[in-house]
Structure 1
Amino acid sequence: MSFVEDKQKIEEGDHVLAWMTRSDVRPIKVQSGELLNNRYGPFKHEDMVGRSFGAQQASSANQGFIHLLSPTPELWSLSLPHRTQIIYGPDASYIVHRLKIRPSSVVIEAGTGSGALTHALARTVSKSGKIFTFEYHESRCEQARAEFESHGLSEIVQITHRNVCEDGFAIDTDIKASAVFLDLPAPWTAIPHLFEHVDRSRAVHICCFSPCIEQVIKNIYALQAAGFQHIEMVENQARRWEGHQTMVRTVEESMDLLRDIRRRRQDGMDFRHGRVEKRKLDNYNPWGKGTRVREGDEGYNWRPVSWMETDIKSHTSYLTFAILPPTSPDKYK
C-alpha cells in the first residue's frame, strides 16, 4: 500500500495505521505471524488481510478494538518517529496551497527532517511530479530514504545527503522546479544557490520555515536581494474539533441499569481464597466488557456530541512566502 495509492481492501505487505486514540496511532506493515500488542490485547496481522480500510478489528482477547486506517501524510505525521520537528496538517496544507503545488509540479525541499511534509508533497504532485529533497544529517537522510522506499515513493522523491547552505543544490537533471520549501537553520544562505534549478519561464513560489523572528528578518533581506516579490510572513494557529455519536438509553432502561449497579454494590462481597474481597465495581460496564455498539443495533438510540481542544495550537514556526517573477512578464502566473 503506497501513500499515493487508493485501495479498498488490506493485503499482505500493505502499510496500515492502527488508530487507538488521538495520541496513539501506530504504523503497521501487515505480515503473517506478526502481532500488534496494546492494552486491549494482541491483534493478529493475518486477521487484517481482507478487511476494508477504516474497519474495526477486535483483539484476540476481545477486550477492545482498533481502527485500521489507510496511510495518509496527515496520519503518518502523527505516528512517525520524531527525528526533528514535525510539520503537521495545519501548516502542511497551507504550504501546499500557497506554493501552488499540484499534480506534475516539481518541488525543491531542503531540510527533509522526519519527512512529514515530503509525504504531503509527494501525494500532491502524484506520480507525474517530482520532489528533490535534501538533508544535511546523514543518519536522518538514510532513515528517510528507507521510509520513502518502503512507502512506494521512490519514483516521486529523490533524496540527497547534502548541505545546501554551503554546497548548493545538486540535481542531476534538467528538470526545473516551480516551488521551493526551505526548513533550514539559515535559509538565507541557501537562497542564492536556487537560481540554476528553478524554472525562470514562470513564477517560482518559495516558503521559508523558521522558528525565530530574527531568522525571518534575515530571510526577508535575502529574498529582496534575490529579486523575490510579494513577501509575506504568516503564523498559523489551529484548534481541533471532533464530532461523533454516543449511545443513550431510554429512561426506563437507564433506571434498570442503575438499580442493577446499586444491587451489585450492596452485594459486592465475595469469598475468595479464604478471605473477603470487595468487587471492583467502579469500572463496571453494564453493557458487557469490551462490547462494541454499532448504530442501528436494537434497543439503542444515538445522539451527536462534540469534543474540542481546550487550547489553540500556537506557534511552531513562521512561514515566509515570496514569489520570484518570471523573466518574461507575460508568463507571470
Structure 2
Amino acid sequence: MLPIDSTKKLSFTRCIRDGDLVIVYERYDNMKAIKVCDGSVLENRFGVFKHSDWVGKQFGSKVFSNKGGFVYLLAPTPELWTLVLSHRTQILYIADISFVIMFLEIVPGCLVLESGTGSGSLTTSLARAVAPKGHVYTFDFHEQRAVSAREDFEKTGLSNLVTVGVRDIQGEGFPDELSGMADSVFLDLPQPWLAIPSAGKMLKQDGILCSFSPCIEQVGRASETMRSSFTDIRTFEILLRTYEVREGKLDDFQGDEAGSLGSLPRKRRQRSNEGSNVRETTGPPTVMARPCSEAKGHTGYLTFARLKCLS
C-alpha cells in the first residue's frame, strides 16, 4: 500500500491556508471553486473580496466584501466538488454515487479500480470512502483527461489516495500487477463487456463489479458476459424526485398551475350577488411539501455482480 503523506491528508477541520481550494457559495445554484492566493481578489455582484481576508478562517466562514455583501467559504467535499467541477465528460451525481459506494461495499482500507476517470466526480467520492489507508487506481484512455483529473486531485488534497493512469482498459485490460488485489471494480465504458474478463481477474474472492451504462442494450450484453464468472447480477435505475417545502396559504399552492413554487399565486375571486364587489378568499398559513415541476431523468443503469467462488 502506498505511504500516506500527512501534509496532504484530507482534512477540513483546520483553518484555510494560502494555496487551499475553497468552494465560494453565493447561493444554492451559484458556487465556484477558487484557489486561495494571497494578493488576489474575487469580484462578483456582491463586491470585492480579498483572499488575504480568508486565510486563517475556518471552512464554513461567512466573509464580507468592501460593499458589505457576503459569501460563504466551504470545504471542497466530494458532494460540492461534483457540483462545481469541469465537465470533461458526462458525470455521475450524488444519487448514483452513494448507491455505487454502498453496493460495492467500499469501506476504509479498500483497494478500488475504476475505468474511465472522466471528470473525476465518482473518483473523488471513492477516495474519501477508502481513506485513510485505502487506494483508488483510476484509468482513462484519453491522456489530457487523465492529466486534468490528476491536477484536480492535487487541488482537492486526494493525490495520496488516487493514482491516475492512461490506459485503454477495453483493449488492454487492467495492469497485471493489480491482479487479485481489488476489493471492487467500477466500469464506465462504452463497451464494458470487453473489460469484464480483466475485471474478474483483478478482484479478490467475493469481490464486486459495477458497470455503468446509459443504454439498456449495453446492460444486456454486459450482463451476458458477466454470467461466466459472476453471480448475483442485478441492474438498477436511480430516479431522484426532489420536493420543495415552504410556508404559505393553501390558495397559493393551488394557484401554481405550472407546479413551480416560484410562480405568482392565483387568488380565488368570488363575486357577490350584485356582481360589483370582488372578495379574495385565503386560508391560514401552513407548511406544505410538493414535488418540483422539473423531473430529472436517470443518468444511466448500474449493473452489479459478485465474483463466483472457485471452490
Correspondence 1:69 to 2:103: no
Deviation at 1:100, TM superposition (A): 0.2
| Residue in structure 2 matched with residue 271 of structure 1 by the alignment | none
Correspondence 1:156 to 2:139: no
| Residue in structure 1 matched with residue 271 of structure 2 by the alignment | none
| Residue in structure 2 matched with residue 236 of structure 1 by the alignment | 238
| Structure 1 segment 218-297 matched on structure 2, within 5 A | 218-225=221-228, 227-241=229-243
Correspondence 1:193 to 2:198: yes
Partner letter of residue 71 of structure 2? I
- Cα distance in 1 between the residues matched to 2:111 and 2:199: 13
- C-alpha offsets along residues 131-156 of structure 1, whole Å, 9 cap, x if unaligned? 11000111101100111123222221
Counterpart contact for 2:76–2:156, Cα < 8 Å: no
| Residue in structure 1 matched with residue 210 of structure 2 by the alignment | 207
Deviation at 1:310, TM superposition (A): 2.7
SS at match of 2:219: helix
| Residue in structure 2 matched with residue 269 of structure 1 by the alignment | none
Q: Evaluate the alpha carbon distance shift between residue 174 and residue 214 of structure 1 in structure 2; reply closer, same or farther with a 3 A threshold.
A: closer
- C-alpha offsets along residues 296-323 of structure 1, whole Å, 9 cap, x if unaligned? xxxxxxx989796333322111111111
What TM-score comes out, normalization by structure 1 length? 0.75
Counterpart contact for 1:127–1:155, Cα < 8 Å: no
SS at match of 2:34: strand
Deviation at 1:210, TM superposition (A): 0.4
What TM-score comes out, normalization by structure 2 length? 0.80
Give ranges in structure 1 of 5+ residues lacking alignment. Answer: 246-302, 329-333
Q: Evaluate the alpha carbon distance shift between residue 243 and residue 75 of structure 1 in structure 2; reply closer, same or farther with a 3 A threshold.
A: farther
Q: Evaluate the alpha carbon distance shift between residue 215 and residue 307 of structure 1 in structure 2; reply closer, same or farther with a 3 A threshold.
A: same
Q: Evaluate the alpha carbon distance shift between residue 309 and residue 223 of structure 1 in structure 2; reply closer, same or farther with a 3 A threshold.
A: same
| Residue in structure 1 matched with residue 295 of structure 2 by the alignment | 312
Counterpart contact for 1:4–1:122, Cα < 8 Å: no
Aligned length: 268
Percent of paired sites with the same residue = 41
- Cα distance in 1 between the residues matched to 2:55 and 2:180: 40
CA RMSD in angstroms comes to 2.4
Give ranges in structure 2 of 5+ residues lacking alignment. Answer: 1-6, 248-285
SS at match of 2:182: coil
| Residue in structure 2 matched with residue 325 of structure 1 by the alignment | 308
Which structure's CA Rg is the greater one?
A: 1
Out of 122, 129, 142, the residue aligned to residue 117 of structure 1 is: 122
Deviation at 1:222, TM superposition (A): 0.8
Partner letter of residue 150 of structure 2? R
| Residue in structure 1 matched with residue 173 of structure 2 by the alignment | 168
